[in-house]
Amino acid sequence: MTDAASVQIVQFVHPGFEYHRPEHVGGRHVRSGVMDWKPGNSQHDRKFIVSRGSLFEAGRGQNHRDASIVFWGEWEGPSVFWRIDSSPGKPGPSIIHAPFRPERAPVEPVQNTDPMVFGDAFIYSNCLQHAYSSLRRLAEGSIVLFGRHSRVAHQPAFSLDTCLVVNRVEALESHPFDSTAYGEDILDDAVLNPLYTEGGVNEFVVYFGKTRTDDDSPFSFFPARLLDDPDRFFARPRLVPDGALKDVISPKNMQGIKGCTVTVAERDAIWQEVVRQVSDQGCGLGYRAAAPPRLSSQAAEAVALDAPAPLG
C-alpha cells in the first residue's frame, strides 16, 4: 500500500454501558459470582475485563508481554465477576470480569462478541453492516474506532474501547455449534457460531485487525492498564477532535458511524493522535488478550471466591 492509496477512518458509536444490573450480576449484596452467556438478540453492553495479555506503553517505550492487564471490552460469553469495593464510580467500572468459555457449547441462542479482541487477531464481524453498506467495503489499512457516547461535565464525549486497524478481509458464513469442534477456535466459539443461533445465516464481511510489529506501523489496540497499577480501575479514555482527529470524530454522535476517506499518510497521523490522547490519559496500548479458557460451572463458581485474576 502506498501513500497515494485511500483508506477509511470510521468512528463507530456502539452501546457502552457496563453490565451491572441485577439480571446480570445479582443485587448489590452479591459480591462475586458467574455471569452467564448473554441471551441472543438482546442488548450488547461492555465489561471491564481482567486477562493475560500484552501491553505497550507508548510514552515510555516499555513493552509488557504476557502480563495481567485490565481493559474495557466486549465479551458476551460467560465470565466470573467481582464487585469493586474501591471503585471510583462512574465513568469508572463497578464490576471486574474474567472471561471464560463453558465446557459445552450452548444450546439456546446466545449473543456473539463483536468486536472481539481475544486470541490471535482482533475481529470485527457484523455489527451495523446491514445498516451501513460502507462497513462492508472497508479497505485494508482502514481504522475503526469503537467507543461509546457519554456526557462528561455536561458536555458530549466519545470514549474509546477498541481501535481496529484492518489487516485482512474475508467473507465468512456463520454456522451452527459443532460439539466435536467446540473449544478449538475462538472465532467460531465467540463469533460465527453465536451469530447462527441469533439467526445470522448470511455471509458476513469479517475484518481481522493488524497486530503489533517492530516497524512502528499502526496496529490494533485497546486502552489498557496493568492489573497491579494503583489506578487500574479507569474510565475509558475520551477522544477529542484535536490535531489530526479534527473533523474525523464528533463527540456529539450518539449512535451509528461517522466515516471519512484519507490517504495512508493521513491515516498514520490520525492513529498517532489517537495513541497520544490515550497515552496522555494514563493508558497503555493493549495489543493482545489471551483466548478465554474453557471452564466448568463448578470451577467458575469456585474461582469467584478468590481475588480477581485472569483465568487459565
102/59: higher pLDDT: 102
pLDDT bin (cut points 50, 70, 90) of residue 234 is very high
Chain length of the chain: 312
Write down the pLDDT at residue 253: 92
Q: What is the mean pLDDT of the chain?
A: 94
pLDDT bin (cut points 50, 70, 90) of residue 99 is very high
Is residue 107 predicted with pLDDT exceeding 50? yes
Identify whether the C-beta of residue 290 lies closer than 8 Å to the C-beta of residue 101: no
CA dist 145 and 159 (Å) reads: 10
CA dist 39 and 77 (Å) reads: 9
Look at 127-141, 146-160, 244-258, 298-312 and tell me which has the smallest mean pLDDT: 146-160
Tell me how far CA of residue 93 lies from CA of 58, 233, 239, in angstroms.
24, 6, 19
Angle made by CA atoms 180, 188, 12, in degrees to the nearest 5 = 165
CA dist 123 and 39 (Å) reads: 21
Give residue limits of the domains in the chain: 6-303
Q: What is the pLDDT of residues 173-231, one digit of tens each?
A: 999 999 999 999 999 999 999 999 999 888 899 999 999 987 789 999 999 999 999 99
Contacts with 154 (C-beta within 8 Å, 6 or more apart), sequence order: none
Cβ count near 271 (within 10 Å): 20
